Amino acid sequence: MGCVQSFRELCDRQKNTNVRLSLPAVCIVWQTAMIILFGVFIRYNEESSPRWVEYRKAKNISSDIENDFYFRYPSFQDVHVMIFVGFGFLMTFLKRYSFGAVGFNFLIAAFGLQWALLMQGWFHSLDYSDGKIKIGIENLINADFCVAGCLIAYGAVLGKVSPVQLMVLTLFGITLFAVEEYIILDLIHAKDAGGSMVIHTFGGYYGLSISWMLYRPNLDQSSRLQGSVYHSDVFAMIGTLFLWMFWPSFNSAITDHGDGQHRAAINTYLALAATVLTTVAVSSLFQKHGKLDMVHIQNSTLAGGVAVGTAAEFMLMPYGSLIVGFCCGIVSTLGYIYLTPFMEKYMKIQDTCGIHNLHAMPGVIGGIVGAITAAAASESVYGHEGLINTFDFEGEFKDMVPTRQGGHQAAGLCVAICFGVGGVTQCVGIMTLFVLFSGCILRLPIWGDAADDNCFDDEAYWEVPDDEETFPQVPQYNNHMRNKDVAESNFTMEQN
């Protein structure tokens, strides 16, 4: 810990937000690396290659409509909207960081999905006969999922890091994600359709531990910018609503064909509906005069979708989904009211978007709900074949029973937390080094992050238009005079 502390002081030199060389270099070099790796490793799978016709006949598939594309493409597009519009606009609530919120979200998602296709491909889709990764629509969905973990982490450090740091954060995040996912889903054989553990718990704690590493004691110097204006809150609602509406697609995108996708969508739909009501209730109850707080409406209403992620494909039952949503709305909103200030004051974790309340805590709840629901499964509820299909009790796991599956689910949750908080819990091994390493690297002044009094400001990395000054909101008759004024004032400003 001491070495980290002294390292910190070493890094607190003069900040310079110029990324003119570092950002283009990172983008060009990494994109070139992607092209080379894709050239070596990535090919179409049998459902997206022109040999599909032959494959179809060989497998006796009666129609093109049974191509996996038609099962998953609508869900994929919904997930895609969540990643780019949902996460992007959810973070536009800051008054002067909307460009950064949407733009950097766009950048790191576009990079992350390529790296995720490779990392996840090596673990899950490698064809050992020719050493190639064979991709189809399911890989694209999984890549988007993987990116979601990093975007969650971005939420914790929003406004405080440079785009170059974000690229590094994403590179490490995706790598950790793929390893963690492989351990949880393949080795431990936990099920996690909507990624409560794999995506949200991991992403949440990963972001929080990065934020802890990058603690800025004088961040209040930027406090004038760390809030919203009226229209930025409306923009953020675009993000909230697209996340909320498409969450059923998120949780059902990679579940089993047929009843699996159907049930996951229903459960998520219900959990989210319940969350809205309890969020509104708690937000009003704990506020002076009972006024609602936009921060809660924008974020906590989504907690139910996170928490139902793991159990969405199980027989959680409609009322079970409502109960999960009910609790999460309360927990998440209380988190915003009490926990976020507490964590900033006493734990040195500055969590800009409150991802602990929206992702980390509900993710843990989701993992627990998943473990309980799995342990309670029985043939009388699922049917014999249904039980096998739902939990994949096949191959080397054909002797698995629900109670043991519940244990495996719990183990998966622990792995997700460990990977996320790696740096904090000092758990030994490569993941600690990874998170610590990435945390340390991100403090180096070469990365172009902003000074404490310059955070949450698009001016640092974007050409920002001059607002209002040349706005034509004047009666017609003095237009010319006004333009002269503007020209003069522009001149004056340039003189300074």
Window 279-318: residues binding its own copies (CB under 8 A)? 280-282, 284-285, 287, 289-294, 297, 301, 315, 317-318
Please state, in angstroms and rounded to a whole number, the distance separating the CA atoms of residues 285 and 494: 51
Query: According to CB under 8 A, which one of 31, 218, 378, 426 is a site residue for its own copies?
Result: 31
Residue 438 binds to its own copies (criterion: CB under 8 A):
no
Q: Which is nearer to its own copies, 335 or 420 (CB)?
A: 335
Instruction: Categorise residue 387: left if φ over 0, alpha if ψ from -120 to 50, beta otherwise.
Output: alpha
- Binders of its own copies among 443-482, rule CB under 8 A? 457, 459, 461-473, 475, 477
Residue 496 binds to its own copies (criterion: CB under 8 A):
yes
- Shortest Cβ 291–its own copies spacing (Å): 5
Distance, C-alpha 222 to centroid of its chain: 25
- Shortest Cβ 9–its own copies spacing (Å): 26
Query: According to CB under 8 A, which one of 4, 10, 12, 24 is a site residue for its own copies?
Result: 24
**How far is it between the farthest Cα atoms of the chain?**
85
Exposed / middle / buried, residue 193 (Cβ in 10 Å: 0-12, 13-18, 19+)? buried
Strand order in the sheet with 132-135: 42-44, 132-135, 126-127
Whole-angstrom CA distances from 433 to 80, 212, 363, 441 are 32, 16, 24, 12
Q: Which is nearer to its own copies, 243 or 368 (CB)?
A: 243
Query: According to CB under 8 A, which one of 42, 166, 174, 339 is a site residue for its own copies?
Result: 42
- Shortest Cβ 334–its own copies spacing (Å): 13
List the x/- string, 100-129, binding to its own copies by CB under 8 A: --xx--xx--xx-xx---------------
Residue 145 binds to its own copies (criterion: CB under 8 A):
no
Q: Which is nearer to its own copies, 429 or 472 (CB)?
A: 472
Alpha-carbon torsion (158, 161, 164, 168), positive or negative: negative
- Shortest Cβ 194–its own copies spacing (Å): 16
Contact 447, 17 (CB under 8 A): no
Element (H, E) at 42: strand 42-44
Q: Which stretch binds its own copies (CB under 8 A): 25-33, 351-359, 417-425, 430-438?
A: 25-33
Q: Which is nearer to its own copies, 168 or 360 (CB)?
A: 168
What number of chain residues touch its own copies (CB under 8 A)?
A: 154
Q: Which stretch binds its own copies (CB under 8 A): 188-196, 262-270, 351-359, 406-414?
A: 262-270
Residue 135 binds to its own copies (criterion: CB under 8 A):
yes
Lookup: tokens for 297: 């409406």
Query: According to CB under 8 A, which one of 8, 15, 38, 397 is a site residue for its own copies?
Result: 38
Residue 390 binds to its own copies (criterion: CB under 8 A):
yes
- Binders of its own copies among 64-103, rule CB under 8 A? 64-71, 73-75, 77-78, 80-81, 84-85, 88-89, 92, 95-96, 98-99, 102-103
Contact 311, 406 (CB under 8 A): no
Contact 207, 157 (CB under 8 A): yes
In this structure, which amino acid lies at residue 99?
Answer: F
Q: Which is nearer to its own copies, 201 or 301 (CB)?
A: 301
Contact 100, 462 (CB under 8 A): yes
In this structure, which amino acid lies at residue 95?
Answer: K
Nearest one of 108, 126, 127 to 174, comparing CA atoms: 108
- Binders of its own copies among 326-385, rule CB under 8 A? 326, 381-383, 385
In eight-state DSSP terms, residue 161 is: S
CB atoms within 10 A of CB 27: 16
Please state, in angstroms and rounded to a whole number, the distance separating the CA atoms of residues 224 and 201: 31
- Binders of its own copies among 168-187, rule CB under 8 A? none
Residue 265 binds to its own copies (criterion: CB under 8 A):
yes
Q: Which is nearer to its own copies, 344 or 459 (CB)?
A: 459
Residue 495 binds to its own copies (criterion: CB under 8 A):
no
Q: Which is nearer to its own copies, 14 or 473 (CB)?
A: 473
Contact 443, 214 (CB under 8 A): yes
- Binders of its own copies among 221-250, rule CB under 8 A? 224-225, 227-231, 233-235, 237-238, 241-242, 244-246, 248-249
Nearest one of 380, 379, 179 to 391, comparing CA atoms: 379
